Amino acid sequence: MMSRLLAVFNARNKEFWRDRSSLAWNFAFPFLLVFGFYFIFGQGMPMFKVGVISEHDAYISRPAFMQLSHIQFVPYEELDQALNRARRHQIDLVLDLDRQLYWVNEESRNGYVAERLLVNADPEFNRRVVQGEPIRYVDWVLPGIIGMNIMFSSLFGVGYAIVRYRKNGVLKRLKATPLSAFEFVSAQILSRLLTVMLVASIIYFGSHWALSTLMLGSAFSLLVTLFIGALALISLGLAVASRSRSEELTGGLMNMATWPMMGLSQVWFSLEGAPPMVQSLANALPLTHLVSAAREITTEGASLMQVSDHLLILVGMTALFLGVAALLFNWDSDHR
Amino acid sequence: MTDLLSIHNLVKRYKQLTAVDGISFSVAKGQCFGLLGPNGAGKTTTIEMMEGISKPTSGEVRLFGEPASRKAFERVGIQFQNTALQDYLTVAETLKLFAAFYTKTIDRDELVELCSLGEFLNRDARKLSGGQRQRLLLALALINDPDLVFLDEPTTGLDPQSRRNFWELVQAIKRRGKTIVLTTHYMDEAETLCDDIAIMDQGRIVERGSPAQLLDRHFEGVMVHLPASAVDGKTLPFDMLINRERVEIQTTAVDATVRQLADAQVSLTGLQVKSPNLDDLFLKLTGHALRA
């Protein structure tokens, strides 16, 4: 029994070590994750988040409160923007350094403690009050979950299917018909769009109905945003799968595309206050724009015009990914 | 007769390997043309260049008297050696899918009857037996009512019964006036179905003609086979081809040959007399068996 077990054990080890692409991925991926999270959260999570308004970039009249540890100070250019965050409990206090004013949301527990610290350190600051229900985490995270679902369904649903078709000869059989690559790819995109939109609508409106999740914007704006976002992610899936014949390699590439988006596209947590480089990287990912636009619509009541910057970027990314996919697309399979 | 298909100096190279090495032939209308050869001879590469699936390194393919074009391929039907079909579709749905690709299609009921698909029309295509699957693939090759049909090793892996059923289908297609290009490594298949044959080995055509012409050209009379051990160490007055454990003697006078063997004290136990076939021809031409 032992020799049989050892024989299979050895064969499996050889298979693993000789499959270069999956071997490299197995080693690289955990390292990328560890380094990525170290970089993003290397300094630990702060206890409080305080918005700061000042005309002066260097905060000339820096109060004693700002010397305290474990508080993250997030600069805002617009007071209204910062106050909206405080109303929704996304930041705990707002400080106007130039006018020595602060705003606190009296319904926020964190706001209460942060205010005590401020008053103790800098009693000269004058109090103002904002009011507003907190955005529940479920309200905040729902657009992220829908975006993540769209991402996985688009990338794996289209990318994997095409690689599988290429590998098992379905694509080759289709190539022998008058069907063009454009027709084939368009059909894949439309089919996946229909599925993704249906699932996303059911999740969103089902949650809204069952859990009364927040919807401050219009359902139409949300659907348009999800549609454009799904198109960008499906195109990315097509680009990744345009040439590959290996399901293992495609799986690796898909993971490489999805994991940074899972971590950086603010699906689960906000990147507010993260290093600028991380934020730049996040802005290069399609899911970031999909989730941000959807979240602005549902939790802030934004209109399509107000999220048009995100939508334009998504349209641009779609064009880029489709261009790459069209340029690289290959029908041929391994079968000869 | 008009040539429906002709190829001239076709070459296909993959880096160091020359899979097809400058071959030329033509196929007349209404013929069943057989491309024979062992695995790796270059049959599939050749057929895929003719089908437009892969591009030749050099040389020309002409279809219906013109250089191969997208329009010409609308009149061509193809059955690949290895084809997966889209998952979760029934046979009827698969036929409908492929019918949508062509402007001209054969009547579905006629196709179902021709390829005997009726009994499993609503079955998931993944759950078909080998023979049923090949019939479906043949139906897909015929769905656009093509003038020229390529069949690449269509009966490989089928049981003898299914192979014979498939041959009947191919003969029915021939009766409809279709031109067929068939690759196979079964000599009985080629002998039954093909009017014209080219034998390939190592990327080249080593012989060409109808099965009867080829056999007449290379063999006279019949073959006498004996176990090699029977003639061990004995000197006999005729040429012998020794292959593994068998000795082959070609003769036009069986009675005389058998008498000579008996006179030379050769045991006749295990003696067989048979007519030469394409397998014997291939062995003679290339030195290795057709099914190697």
Residue B80 to residue A336, Cβ atoms within 8 A? no
Same domain as A147, residue A111: no
Which of B44, B75, B80 should be substituted to probe chain A, the one whose Cβ sees the most A Cβ atoms within 10 Å?
B80
CB < 8 Å from B in window 158-217 of A: 165, 168-170, 172-179
Q: How far does A12 lie from chain B, in Å, by closest CA?
A: 27
B70: contact with A, CB 8 A cutoff:
yes
Residues whose CB falls within 8 Å of the CB of residue A64, separated by 6 or more in sequence, listed in order: A121, A122
Same domain as B212, residue B225: no
Same domain as B162, residue B183: yes
What is the pLDDT, as a whole number, of residue A132?
77
Domains of chain B: total: 2
Q: Helix or strand or coil: residue A9? A: helix
Q: Helix or strand or coil: residue A305? A: coil
Q: Residue A186 belongs to what domain range?
A: 137-328
Q: pLDDT digits over A216-248, tens only?
A: 889 999 999 999 999 999 999 998 888 777 777
Same domain as A256, residue A117: no
Same domain as B167, residue B130: yes
Q: Residue B39 is encoded by which pair of tokens?
A: 């695995």
Same domain as B24, residue B153: yes
Please state, as a whole number, how many other Cβ atoms lie within 10 Å of the Cβ of residue B38.
18
Q: Residue A224 is encoded by which pair of tokens?
A: 């348009």
Same domain as A144, residue A83: no
In a domain, A246, yes or no: yes
Same domain as A193, residue A154: yes
- Name the residue facing A170 among B70, B86, B102 (closest C-beta): B86
In a domain, A36, yes or no: no
Provide the whole-model pTM. Answer: 0.72
Same domain as B130, residue B117: yes
A336, pLDDT greater than 50: no
In a domain, B283, yes or no: no
- Residue B267 to residue B51: CA distance in whole angstroms: 53
In a domain, B257, yes or no: yes
Same domain as B46, residue B151: yes
Same domain as A290, residue A314: yes
Which residue in chain B has the smallest CA separation from A176? B53
In DSSP terms, which residues pair with A6 in a beta bridge? Answer: none
From chain A, the residues in CB contact with B101 under 8 A are 174, 177-179
In a domain, B280, yes or no: no
In a domain, A160, yes or no: yes
In a domain, B292, yes or no: no
Residue A173 to residue B80, Cβ atoms within 8 A? yes
A169, pLDDT greater than 70: yes
In a domain, A37, yes or no: no
Same domain as B204, residue B74: yes
- Name the residue facing B84 among A169, A176, A336 (closest C-beta): A169
In a domain, A43, yes or no: no
DSSP designation for B221: S
Q: pLDDT digits over B146-197, tens only?
A: 999 999 888 887 888 888 888 998 998 899 899 999 998 888 888 889 999 9
Domains of chain A: total: 2
In a domain, A42, yes or no: no
In a domain, B100, yes or no: yes
What is the pLDDT, as a whole number, of residue A42?
61
Same domain as B191, residue B102: yes
- Residue B144 to residue B99: CA distance in whole angstroms: 7
Q: pLDDT digits over B31-90, tens only?
A: 999 998 888 888 889 998 998 888 899 999 999 988 888 888 888 999 987 777 888 889
Same domain as B251, residue B190: no
Q: Of A100, A130, A160, which one is at a domain's C-terminal end?
A: A130
Report the phi/psi class of residue B2: left, alpha or beta, with left for phi > 0 and alpha for psi in -120 to 50: beta
Which of B12, B83, B88 should be substituted to probe chain A, the one whose Cβ sees the most A Cβ atoms within 10 Å?
B83
Residue A176 to residue B44, Cβ atoms within 8 A? no
- Write the CATH number for B26: 3.40.50.300
Q: Residue B145 belongs to what domain range?
A: 3-216
- Residue A194 to residue A202: CA distance in whole angstroms: 12
